[in-house]
Amino acid sequence: MAKNLLIVESPAKSKTLKRFLGKSFDILATVGHVRDLPKSKLGVDTDDGFSVHYETIKGKSKILKKLKDSAKKSEMVYLAPDPDREGEAIAWHVAQLLNSPEKILRVTFNEITKTAVLGALKNTRDIDENLVNAQQARRVLDRLVGYKVSPFLWKTIARGLSAGRVQSVALRIICEREAEIDAFVEEEYWNIEALLADKDGAQILSKLARIDEAKPEIKTGQEAEKISEDLKKSRFVVESIKKSERIRKPLPPFITSTLQQEAARKFYFTPKKTMMIAQQLYEGVELGGEGATGLITYMRTDSTRIAESALTAVRTYIKEVFGTSYLPDKANRYKSKRSSQDAHEAIRPTYPDRAPDEIKGFLTKDQFKLYSLIWNRFVACQMSSAVYDTTSVDIDAGRYLLHAYTQSLKFDGFLKIYEESGENGQNGENGLTDFIPDLKVGDELSLVEVRPSQHFTKPAPRFTQASLVKTLEADGIGRPSTYASIVSTLLDRKYAETRERRLFPTELGKTVNKILVEHFPSIFSVEFTAHMETDLDQIEMGKADWVDVIREFYNPFDERLESLLSRQAEIKASLTESTQEVCENCGSPMVIKWGRNGRFLACSAFPECKTTKPLDDSEGPVETDETCDKCGSPMVIRNGRFGKFLACSAYPKCKNTRAVPTGVKCPKDGCGGDVVEKRSKKGKLFYGCTNYPKCDFVAWYKPADKACPQCGSSYMLEKVSQKRGPYLTCPSCKHKIYQESE
């Protein structure tokens, strides 16, 4: 009897699916896309209705032959790539290549469980042409922009650069934030607190809330001092007391963007890493004798919808484990965004009763972290709200009104298992939690101390990878399947870099952005890109024709590009800057030009004179006390593509270089080497020992030559907290020393 053939994207799913389908099915994987636009040419005929030429992806011929041979012998062929646009396109391409429409069916499942998979096989459908067209439209749009604009960048900046329809908008967002920070002028302001006491001596901390019925705006220390002196002479009388309950509802289950954000805040995972681990949990993890088991639902989604069966299961679990007080009368329902595609559920555990600790031994450390996060968030989203008792007190002080507020947790509800992190990993709840004694309206309080404090306004922070994803989602840029690739592409292209987990645009990124925004202002705008995402959604829903959408975009785009072709030399010249430096070989003026790796100094007499040098060396090398270990000449600090380095002053006769020492000796016993700055292959700064590879000491943070006072570790690490500034932390016991406590 002939078997059936099930075709999936990833080989990792096969083990999990084999458990449910048994010997009656052969399961093969495409290992991603099998066909794509050609790499060497445009592949889109703009004069023939945007007809598309696809080619078999290099290395996929053997896979396709295996699929064809197996399909010929199979009774039915079930196409089961992922349940999204990309998966639908893969199914369509495979169906075209197999060319057996009479026995090909499309199946999708949001989770790899026996119930979901067998249910999908009973509810097969045809390939959704609208989904295929939406994916094809996105691919064609990206190809037109990339293949048309990238050569423009080659001729105006440097060869090898590339533009992306969506990535370039993300770069623009990063660059505009950087420009905002550069232009920011900090302003001084002061807050004033007053420590008061009741008749029994119980203290209450209050804040200045009003001056003459207006919100206080204290700009200088002199103003703060005057108000402080006034308060010292004031009479403090309790004006009002308000006691109430505050209800805090649980957050909805994760969607792709919120999972990426929370994993970044809690574990410092990049979006790319989060999606890689989530893919493993979705496709299946070996659970001992149970075999490969899918642990979460599909991880690319923007819907908070939850299947009724999952709601029933999790409510049963909550009742049995936590009790009826933690279970609301009705299931909590969450609204998805208007633009969300509701075909998928939220990200949730496939088996709500499978607590993380029960399977911890089968998971990697990172898998356990992410599964715990997803499981806790999902169970919490169906638990009762947390309840706080709050007390708010207004205190009259003549012209001034002081305010005190406190809250205490009355019922923990969903907080029993989950609380969202703040931007830097702190809990989401902040605010005054100081004790307020039992007071009555009309009670007079005595002043213990006035506490003026100076502050300065701060610019909007640079984006983390997670906060950039949040902004992209809010602006309608990209979709769940693209967030991670948008960020990683910017880093891979060296248009942005990460420092202390923040995204900085590189000089190259700033220049690429400048050219694109100046000459393609509408195409690389947030509004236009968000509009295109809406058009793609309309195609997916069958409400727009994909060719019409492409044509509407392409015609004005092509006209703009044509108008710029004659100005390429002019635009390139506009990026060249004059300098006061002269060429050491021919005496001609040196100019600043752009290359693939950023700006550099070049002789203006090019091509007759081809002298170049790093731009950062234009002000001359910095002398040091170090000597060259090869020729004995003094060593100088120079700047290169990857930052500062020590170079022999006898260059070019002696080309010896080495890393700049940090002044800290290697902490490994008996090593004796120096700790120096180094760069990874991707340009990320780290610290290592000069005796590598004999010594394997490395650290992502700069070591400090200070012993830990708690455990005696020979060194500590320098870190920075946005809330409390620079501090030292012990790599062994995690003891922290903040500047103010030193």
Torsion (CA) 23, 25, 30, 32 in degrees, nearest 10: -90
Buried b (16+ CB within 10 A) or exposed e, 35-44: bbbeeeebbb
Q: Which two tokens stand for residue 349?
A: 């555990």
Residue 222 burial by CB count (10 A; 0-12/13-18/19+): exposed, middle or buried? exposed
Q: Which two tokens stand for residue 55?
A: 């080619």
Quote the radius of gyration of the chain (alpha carbons, Å). 31
Half-sphere exposure of 267 (CA within 13 A, CB side): 19
Torsion (CA) 316, 320, 326, 328 in degrees, nearest 10: 30
Apex 737 CA angle, 732 and 738, nearest 5: 145
- Rounded Cα distance between 327 and 315, Å, is 7
- Rounded Cα distance between 482 and 367, Å, is 22
Buried b (16+ CB within 10 A) or exposed e, 393-411: bbbbbeebbbbbbbbeeeb
Strand-by-strand arrangement of the 674-679 sheet:
661-665, 674-679, 685-689, 698-699
- Rounded Cα distance between 62 and 79, Å, is 18
Residues in the chain: 742
Q: Which two tokens stand for residue 70?
A: 């197996």
- Rounded Cα distance between 311 and 304, Å, is 12
Q: Which two tokens stand for residue 704?
A: 């400090």
- Rounded Cα distance between 323 and 409, Å, is 19
The span from the first CA to the last CA of the chain, in angstroms, equals 79
Q: Which of 282, 298, 418, 483 is catalytic?
A: 298
Q: Is residue 96 within a helix (H) or strand (E), and if so which, with residue range?
A: helix 85-98
* Residue 567 near residue 515, CB atoms below 8 Å: no
AA identity, residue 309:
S
Q: Is residue 689 within a helix (H) or strand (E), and if so which, with residue range?
A: strand 685-689
* Residue 536 near residue 134, CB atoms below 8 Å: yes
Characterize the bridge pairing of strands 4-8 and 35-36: unpaired
Across the chain, how many H-helices and E-strands are there? 18, 34
Catalytic status, residue 189: no
* Residue 210 near residue 400, CB atoms below 8 Å: yes
Active-site residue set:
298
